[in-house]
Structure 1
Amino acid sequence: MRNLCCTGLALLLSVIAAIPSALAQTAPATRREAVTNTTHGIVVDDPYRWLEQAGTPEVEAWAAAQNVAAERYAGADVATREGRLLQYANQISARGARMVSGQMMFMRGWIGSAYQGLYVGDPEGEARYLDGPIIDLNDPSRSATETTVNFWPSPDGRLVLSLTAPQGSNWSELRLIDVASGRVISRRADVHRSFSSADWLADGTGYVYAAYHSQDGAPARGHIVLVTLTGEEREVFSAIADGDDRQRLLSPRMAFDRSSRLFVEATSGTSGTSDLYIVDLRQTGPPRNLSQGGGTWLFLGARDDSAWVFTNEGAPNGRVVRVDRLSRTVPTMRTIIAEGPGAIAAGSQVGGNVYGMFGNRIALLYRENAIPTMRLFDLNGRLRSSYEIPPTGSVWSNSGGGMKGDPRRAEAYYQFLGASEPASIYRLDLNAGRATLVSAARSAVDRDDIVAERRFVERPDGARVPIIIAHRRGLDLSQPHRLMMYGYGAFGWVSFLWYQPHVIDMLMHDDGVFVVAGVRGGGEFGTAWHEAGRGRNRQVAIDDYNASAEYLIAQGYTTPNLLVANTSSIAGSLVGAAVNQRPELYGALVLDYSVLDLARFSEFGHARYWVDELGSPADPDALRWLMAISPYHNIGASGRCLPPTLIRVGPNDRTVPPFHGYKYAAARQNQSGCDTPVFLDVMEGAGHNTGSTPQEIAHSDAVELEFIARVLSPSN
């Protein structure tokens, strides 16, 4: 973080002055304190807890000094690398596009940045700004103060609801905007960027949205509010109306042919289980729960007196049921698309789901043998057409079913992310079964320059872990190369290749190889694959990651001294543990905005909702398995020194607070008897990402790649 401005300037300068100008292998020393807690009979040492006090002069000064050390260690070539990376990072893409009444609405943002604005017009040409930050290709250093998270146009396209969040906050505004003039008609502040969504009544006379109360800064008491354009509003659904006080993520979905029929998906935390309720807006009676048993229940569409629903209840790979006679007290339900050998992409809690009903067709993305295939069905469940998605990328959306469009028309729009494709928008004709390119973001690399292959790692229990291996076309694979392996394995997310400036640079200029490992805990093979690596089964995912490293070494793609372990977010707990347990497999470790303290993760940030995925430290059994793998608490568990490590954190991260990286960096730097380089990079402008502007992203990535180049050089 190059321009850190903070309080305690005198303390900051005194710490930085202690750093030698010709920094070798060391970072500034960190004070240890005798902090110990005993919980459920388990003693938990936490000598760097004082680093949790973000914003205090001492912690700010410590972080700044650490960052200076990381920048100096990366070396003078950072500027050259940054200039090249800026070509890859300063690219603008369209996201979430949909056609409404002959005009296209979409979000426009920089590649790799979470900041995006709302526009209407041509994604590749002239477009008019509506809301959020103004994205200017000619100003890659311009910072954004807010971002458009999602939007919902009215059926006639005259109005649009825009969910916009300020930088560094999870609380947002739901803005009602007149599309023709760009005027903001109204603003609502009881919405959360990760929990709130909205939909319009079929006749366009009003809308519904998910509202929340703030409880110690966290969303609570979720409910659905109906707002009419004449100014009336009332609560029509409450998550706790039936005595269920669990935190619920609510998604309201209106039937497109009836303005009185509301469907509500109510998801419990990050468990992945959800109920589907139906509410008649003309009546005051209680909502009816259409779910039968457990599992996930998701709304696809409704017509007349019937609804089409996805569920994995009794079918881990997913199935589609048709619910008839909705107007009766007890509707009838039958399966029209049975569970098959491939998993339907609908179980991820962090994006990548692809499903929807448009016109007289149902679109589902299947993953059979980890290969993504789009399949189109009629409303009776008969398969009409299908086509494979290339292994160089995947269909992507971080909300809903991944496809956008008018539910009355048999067409939809989706976004494809690829290793060399920043973001491409495709129009899917569901009747013809054909997808055509609508818009492609400009890229400094040709889409054919990078190739990918899928391999499987055989495990002793019979599981086959899919890995995708990417490299530049023509690379000689008969020799080992520098290789970065990314692993996630959480929330049912299916691993795939996506456009990342640092990966492009490593592949095209360093002759490197990039691998994503589909370890258990992800959704590559459906619900069962997810369950096999979550909670008490987390060690299985850790073993999958290390087995993937062994495979890549055995096959000659790389060697231990050239292999970089990499991850981000919740998966820091996975890859950090993997390296703790098998450090001899890796030449370096790069952790991006990662969860690393599993004893206290549930007390801070959005990560507090991840107890369904990892386990709760408040539960005695869960605390035992969490402490057995917690990266921060098991640094010396193998009895060996760990590889050179770069920990990257975002100062504006509200999902995983940066203290996870602070504490882990301090503990690693003080590992007894080990002098391997361990540095902390506080990425300027970053939240739960690597920066808010192309300039910031390019700089952060340059520091990372130069660190890797130095620690993996023959001289080291």
Structure 2
Amino acid sequence: MAIIAPPLTRRGDVTETLHGVEITDHYRWLEDGADPETQAWTDAQNSRTEKLLGGLAGRVRLEHRLSELLSVGTVAGGGMRDNRFFYLKREGGQNQPILYVRTSLHGEERALVDPNSLSAEGLTALDWYEASTDGAFVAYGCSDNGDEWSTLRIVDSDTGATLAEAIPRTRYSSVAWLPDNSGFFYTRYPDPGSVPPGEEEYNSHVFWHALGTEAFADTKIFGEGRSPQDTYDLRISPNGHWLVIIAHDGWARSDCYLRDLRNAGKPIVTIAEGIDALFDTPHFAGDALLIRTNWEAPNYRIMRINPSEPDPSYWEVAVTERPNRAIENFSVTLAGIVTIDVEAAISRLCVHSDNWGNQHDLRLPGLGTVTGIDGDEAHQWIVVGYTSFESAHELFMFDVFNGERFPLAPVPPVAGFDPDAIEVHQVHYPSRDGTRISMFIVHQRGIRLDGDNPTLLTGYGGFNISEGPEYRAALPAWLERGGVFALPNLRGGAEYGETWHKAGMLGNKQNVFDDFICAAEWLIAGGYTRPERLGIAGGSNGGLLVGAALTQRPELFGAVYCAVPLLDMLRYHHFSIAKLWVPEYGSAEDPEAFRWLHAYSPYHRVIEGTAYPATLIATGEQDSRVEPLHARKMVALLQHATCAGEERPILLRSESLAGHGAGKPLSKRVAEAADQWGFLGWRLGVDWEE
């Protein structure tokens, strides 16, 4: 392949002193995405990337296979309200999932919200929805171009008619309907210009909206005087008596409040405030509040709280903490509480009946991940989302009394993919400090593991998020070519409870990178691969992960795919919604946090004259979570610093009409996957032409 040199990049010198340390940033000018010079530079980088990746051997065959794999229909987002059932489904070649409803368990489905009809290019996405208590109405939010700044609208489930409501600034709004459908409580961000510049990304508040009225008349009922970074989850008791408000401060602590809706003059009841623990996932059993918490229970327990006696001394344990399982989510059913538990990074579905003292597991289709659960006190059926490495995401109806299950909306088989031909192992290895880390390894059954297998290692390790068995639509293309896939359960996640999460956040973040690097070393020492055939990939916080691995151990990897990443950890908190992540990472404005951030910040660990592996950094110009400036600055710095030359190119892939990834249309996902897997295959020796 012909060598294409990167465009020349101007170096500037912005020097500042932070806590006595002099920091020079040569590419500060690339932070301004609206500057014509930055835009011209981005266009030149994109042109180079397109020429290199578009001309790869086997590109056409790879793109065809990926189109087959990604065009298979999907179902997700299942929920039930009374006798109505809701879910998101995308047929074959459709760009976006459609919201459907059924008025009985086996009834005919009807489309309620079709974002494909709102944009011919598929650039309008349905971000979220929340049905009313009886399912008669659905509030939903759509956004454009991947920016996730949705507008709330209402659809009538019976007629399909869209009501007059159009409430902007409702990014992933939490909505709680009154049982009589007269209105709802919801969360909303301020309009630009109503607060100081930049603050419109924060300052979410809780509002009351009466159905059929103008949004400007909505009453603000909670959030005034609280931290601008607080975010809220809402739920109303089925009898309409109580509104519960969960106020989140990051991913490790939250407060909980109750508002008496029958006595508007009464002060808000404080359930938990100022405690260094999580109180979340609220449900009601009659008038009693059920809440998940890791307070004095790092693997979580569920507490039963009488609103008239909110002091913790009166709380009762509804589901006890268990040493080998972490409670991830739960729902209330006719049979009692059903919990999603995580045991050794694998999901279990457990029914707690007989006044919640008797426990038994429901049988899942295999060793996989339960992605969601929804039920209510009046029904024995629950909606369960499920996936595994071998099976695409499905929605099942489970009878909690006898364990019977059937698909709510069947998923068509994946073309040319045989789940029985896939082999999955869970292994364990020691991290740098001796901590035992679990890891999933996936490959074709019967493959010869000879130390020369092209291998992709990925991970996340943060924000209390579990990384378990999950179907990845493009992965079969890799496995079919003899590739190995590895997913370690890094500290910072939720696989082993809150202790595991805290071991990978703030000043412990280096543990996450050590866990990942040790996984790479284990794969090499274990005879799976060698550095030249080992690639790493990650997105968002996982982009930070691979950026840290790239700069700390560049000799370990043959290729790096880094998507929508955080990379300048000294300045990340100045942009977009990133102040929300300060409780997870810390801020360079704090002297102690500066010390650990400066020690691992990938942008500040690039060393001139180092032979860095070939790297593709991908971003979206409409990303409203992680600013694309991270990708631009890192590409410029790596291109300047590497001594490996164009035999190991540093590439930028920047999409103009795309964001962090949510809501990306099928056509863009196929093109993105072709670039990602084409690049990895090229660098790791996979022949896509066979």
AA in 1 matched with 2:126 = T
- 1:590–1:645 Cα contact (<8 Å) kept: yes
Does 2:19 align with 1:59?
no
Are the counterparts in 2 of residues 255 and 261 from structure 1 also a CA contact under 8 Å?
Answer: yes
Q: Do the aligned partners of residues 463 and 434 (structure 1) sit closer, same or farther apart at CA in structure 2, a change above 3 Å counting?
A: farther
* Aligned-partner residue type, residue 549 of structure 2: A
Q: 1:192 is paired with a residue of what secondary structure?
A: coil
* Corresponding residue for residue 381 of structure 1: 356
Q: Secondary structure at the match of 1:524?
A: coil
Pick the aligned partner of 2:69 from 71, 88, 96: 88
The answer for unaligned runs of 5 or more in structure 2 is none
Single out whichever of 700-709 and 487-496 deviates more from structure 2.
700-709
**CA distance in structure 1 between the aligned counterparts of 2:431 and 2:125, rounded to whole angstroms:** 43
Aligned to 2:259: 279
1:481 counterpart (428, 449, 453): 453
Assess if the C-alpha contact under 8 Å between 1:519 and 1:545 holds in 2: yes
TM-score normalised to structure 2 length: 0.90
Shift of residue 51 of structure 1?
1.3
Q: Which of 322, 325, 338 is residue 340 of structure 1 equivalent to?
A: 322
1:414 aligns with 2:393: no
8 Å CA contact 1:206–1:229 kept in 2: the answer is yes
Q: Relative to 1, partners in 2 of residues 1:383 and 1:553: Cα closer, same or farther, differing over 3 Å?
A: farther
Tell me the equivalent position of 1:17: none
Letter in 1 for 2:22: V
CA deviations over 1:47-76 (Å, ceiling 9, x no partner)? 111111213322222212212212222224
Alignment partner of 1:673 out of 643, 651, 663: 643
2:130 matched to 1:155? no
Corresponding letter in the other structure for 1:709 = G
1:301, 1:356 within 8 Å by CA — same for their partners in 2? Answer: yes
| Deviations 1:137-165 (CA, angstroms, capped at 9, x unpaired) | xxxx9522422222222233322111222
Deviations 1:210-233 (A, max 9, x none): 233244353444333333447597
Partner of 2:302: 320
Asked if 1 retains the 8 angstrom alpha-carbon contact of 2:71 and 2:666, the reply is yes
- Cα deviation for residue 709 of structure 1 reads 2.5
Identity of aligned residues (%): 30
Contact kept, 8 Å, 1:113 with 1:690, in 2: the verdict is no
Q: Is the 8 A contact 2:71 2:93 kept in 1?
A: no
2:167 is aligned with 1:197: no
**Relative to 1, partners in 2 of residues 1:287 and 1:691: Cα closer, same or farther, differing over 3 Å?**
closer
Structure 2 residue 404 is the aligned partner of structure 1 residue 425: no
- Aligned-pair CA distance for 1:313: 0.5
Among candidates 174, 187, 197, match of residue 165 of structure 2: 187
CA distance in structure 2 between the aligned counterparts of 1:672 and 1:329, rounded to whole angstroms = 60
Match of 2:79 in 1: 98
Residue of structure 2 in register with 1:16 after alignment: none
Conserved 8 A contact 1:650-1:690? no
| C-alpha contact (below 8 Å) 2:271/2:311 kept by paired residues | no
Look up the match of 1:563.
534
* 2:222 pairs with one of 213, 217, 238: 238
- Deviation readout 1:457-509 (Å, 9 max, x if unpaired): 1236442111111112332234531010101100011112433343221112x
Give matches, 1:172-571, under 5 Å.
172-194=150-172, 196-214=173-191, 215=195, 216=197, 218-229=200-211, 231=213, 235=219, 237-240=221-224, 243-256=225-238, 258-268=239-249, 270-283=250-263, 284-291=265-272, 293-324=275-306, 326-328=307-309, 332-346=314-328, 354-378=329-353, 380-387=355-362, 393-396=368-371, 402-442=372-412, 443-444=414-415, 445-459=417-431, 461-478=433-450, 480-508=452-480, 510-571=481-542
Say whether the 8 Å CA contact 1:152–1:160 is kept in structure 2.
Answer: yes
- Report the Cα distance in structure 2 between the residues aligned to 1:113 and 1:273, rounded to whole angstroms: 39
Distance 1:574 1:381 in 2: 40
Q: Deviations over 1:519-539 (max 9, x none)?
A: 111111110111111111111
Contact 1:124 1:440 in 2 (8 A): no
Q: Contact 2:538–2:563 (CA<8 Å) still a contact in 1? A: yes
Instruction: Check conservation: 1:208, 1:227, Cα contact below 8 A.
Output: yes
Letter in 1 for 2:186: Y
Shift of residue 644, structure 1, vs aligned partner = 1.1
Asked whether the 8 Å contact 2:432–2:515 carries over to 1, the reply is no
TM-score by length of 1: 0.87
Greater displacement, 615-624 / 144-153: 144-153
In structure 2, what is the Cα distance between the partners aligned to 1:673 and 1:263?
Answer: 57
Give the Cα–Cα distance (whole angstroms) in 2 for the partners of residues 379 and 306 of structure 1: 17
Structure 2 distance, partners of 1:342, 1:684, is 46
Matches within 5 A, 1:62-81: 62-74=41-53, 75-76=55-56, 77-81=58-62
Alpha-carbon deviation of 1:576? 1.2
Q: Is the 8 A contact 2:147 2:658 kept in 1?
A: no
Give structure 1 stretches of 5+ with no counterpart: 1-21, 347-353, 397-401
- Match for 2:143 among 152, 160, 165? 165
Which residue of the other structure, out of 2, 18, 21, is the alignment partner of 1:42? 21
Deviation at 1:338, TM superposition (A): 2.0
Supply the distance in 2 between the matched residues of 1:531 and 1:113 (Cα, whole angstroms).
41
Given that residues 146 and 657 in structure 2 are in contact (C-alpha distance below 8 angstroms), is that contact kept between their aligned partners in structure 1?
no
Distance 1:143 1:526, change over 3 A: same
Q: 1: distance between equivalents of 2:66 and 2:445?
A: 20
| SS in structure 2 of the partner of residue 189 of structure 1 | coil
Is 2:94–2:116's contact at 8 Å kept on the other side of the alignment?
no
Compare 640-649 and 75-84 and name the one that shifted more: 75-84
* C-alpha contact 2:66 2:674 (8 A) present in aligned 1: yes
* Inter-CA distance 691–702: structure 2 relative to 1 (3 Å threshold): farther
One-letter amino acid of the counterpart of residue 569, structure 2:
L
Q: 1:78 to 1:678 in 2, by over 3 A?
A: same
- Residue aligning to 1:9: none
Q: Which amino acid aligns with 2:635?
A: A
Structure 1 residue 40, shift from structure 2 partner = 2.1
Letter in 2 for 1:33: G
